[in-house]
Amino acid sequence: MDRVPDSLAAIFRGDFHKPAAPSCAYIARMKNYPKARKVGMCQLPFREWRWGDLEYGSIVIKPRAPRLHAWLAEQRVLQKTQERGQRWCPPRLLAEKWPGYTELRVTPVDDLKRYLNGALHCIEEMGVPRFIERFIDVPERYGALYEAWRSDT
């Protein structure tokens, strides 16, 4: 059976893949694009493979968290930086559909660290349902699914 893609819908349906698996959120500098940073998450057993990507430079921060928390923190940082116009992708990576090209940002590293650590702290303090309600933009297409999930949590 194919794995369900990570998404808000998967959270709301209750089939998010391995939500408690040991994971981490991370920020990576890009080797060939000094102004770009990659925001991501990965399960701990796969981190060396993930960070071995030839486009990656150094890994700046990598706080550990359950997989669902790492994914939600990543989504919050990506939404927040996109709202601020800080999304950027080099034409070559876009043309190649490089995995992660939508997760590149030109945000200063210190800001990304603060956003990521802040999101993880809020998830821990507030819990997943309240964090999503307060900090994640839920697309209208998930309306009924989201409302059903909220009434169950």
Domain-embedded: residue 28 = yes
Q: Which residues contact 51 (CB under 8 A, 6 or more apart)?
A: 26, 28, 42, 59
Band the pLDDT of 61: cuts 50, 70, 90: confident
Domain-embedded: residue 153 = no
For residue 126, what are its two tokens?
């507030």
* Dihedral angle over CA of 112, 79, 30, 54, nearest 10: 130
Domain-embedded: residue 144 = yes
Question: If we measure between CA atoms, which residue out of 57, 55, 60, 90 comes closest to residue 77?
Answer: 60
Domain membership of residue 62 as a residue range: 8-148
Domain-embedded: residue 1 = no
pTM: 0.92
Alpha carbons within 13 angstroms on the beta-carbon side of residue 104 total 23
Q: Kindly report, residue by residue over 102-112, the tens digit of the pLDDT.
A: 999 999 999 99
Q: Kindly report, residue by residue over 129-146, the tens digit of the pLDDT.
A: 999 999 999 999 999 999
Q: Kindly report, residue by residue over 80-132, the tens digit of the pLDDT.
A: 999 999 999 999 999 999 989 999 999 999 999 999 999 999 999 999 999 99
Domain-embedded: residue 2 = no
Domain count across the chain: 1
What is the rounded distance in angstroms from the CA atom of residue 87 to the CA atom of residue 61?
19
Domain-embedded: residue 3 = no
Q: Is pLDDT above 90 for 45? A: no
- Report H helices in the chain: 8-13, 47-51, 67-83, 91-95, 109-126, 128-135, 143-152
For residue 58, what are its two tokens?
């150094």
9-24 mean pLDDT: 95
